[in-house]
Amino acid sequence: MIEERITVERKVLSENDRLAAEIRRRLTERGIVSLNLVSSPGSGKTSLLEKTLGALNSKLKIALIAGDVQTENDADRLLQAGGKIVRPIITGGACHLDARMVTKALEQIDLEEVEILFIENVGNLVCPSSYDLGEDMKVVTMSTTEGDDKPLKYPAMFRRSSALIINKTDLLGHSDFDLERAKENARSINPDLELFETSCRTGEGLETWYEWLIRLVRDRKARDAE
């Protein structure tokens, strides 16, 4: 039974990898930077994207794919925050996005109009780590109310991410969360993590995040122009 399950899971993953490679090819040939945003439920991914839209909508051509288990709440919020290209994915119970869902969502996006694509995954620190969506990199968000041991408890996600956003820094001091320990734990799992510390409430640290995004797009353009 377990063997049978593993065999099918391998097949599902290899089919996913095939579709993800195709997405990656399409996005790369158009010079689009793509980020797969992962986190626990409630870490503040959507708030962060709302702020990002507010700050960068006039500077970058942004598209967003917002995955949710059951509602379009996140997609609605991103539209209201000024998102020009926003596509919801309702997984209907599934605990992660997969490349097939993203392929479908991309069919409804004019990629000529996009410089950077954010894919907001389902809130889940486990399953999304196994599914390549064809993105350039995963960005994991954790909030200061979640406990500083999360990188140790969910190592796969932190290992497979290129950047870590520690969000809700305005709540530091209201819990036992130790920022330095959190960063140490994260680096012990993945020393190459790009680290950001942000508060969507006070705006603290957001500028650094925005600058990083702008640099990603600029560097991609420069590389493609070579």
Q: Which residues bind a copy of itself (CB under 8 A)?
A: 1, 4-5, 8, 11-12, 15, 40-42, 68-71, 73, 93-95, 122-127, 142-143, 145-147, 149-150, 152-156, 168, 170-171, 174-175, 201
61 token code pair: 């051509």
- Exposure string for 33-55, b = 16+ CB within 10 A, e = fewer: bbbbbbbbeebbbbbbbbbbbeb
Q: Which is nearer to a copy of itself, 143 or 161 (CB)?
A: 143
Query: From start to end of the chain, where are the E strands?
Result: 33-39, 62-68, 85-90, 116-120, 137-143, 161-167, 194-197
Tokens 């986190």 belong to which residue? 39
Closest contact distance (angstroms) between CB of 7 and a copy of itself is: 9
Closest contact distance (angstroms) between CB of 112 and a copy of itself is: 32
Closest contact distance (angstroms) between CB of 47 and a copy of itself is: 9
Q: Which is nearer to a copy of itself, 86 or 217 (CB)?
A: 86
Closest contact distance (angstroms) between CB of 113 and a copy of itself is: 29
Closest contact distance (angstroms) between CB of 32 and a copy of itself is: 28
Between the two ends of the chain, the Cα-to-Cα distance in Å is 53
Q: Which is nearer to a copy of itself, 13 or 137 (CB)?
A: 13
Torsion of CA 67, 11, 155, 119, to 10 degrees: -20
Q: Which is nearer to a copy of itself, 127 or 214 (CB)?
A: 127
Q: Which is nearer to a copy of itself, 55 or 127 (CB)?
A: 127
Our separate counts of H helices and E strands in the chain read 8, 7
Closest contact distance (angstroms) between CB of 44 and a copy of itself is: 8
Instruction: Name which of 35, 203, 4 is nearest 133 in CA terms.
Output: 35
The Cα-based distances of 226 to 68, 112, 219, 221, 222 in angstroms read 39, 20, 11, 9, 6
Q: Which is nearer to a copy of itself, 73 or 208 (CB)?
A: 73
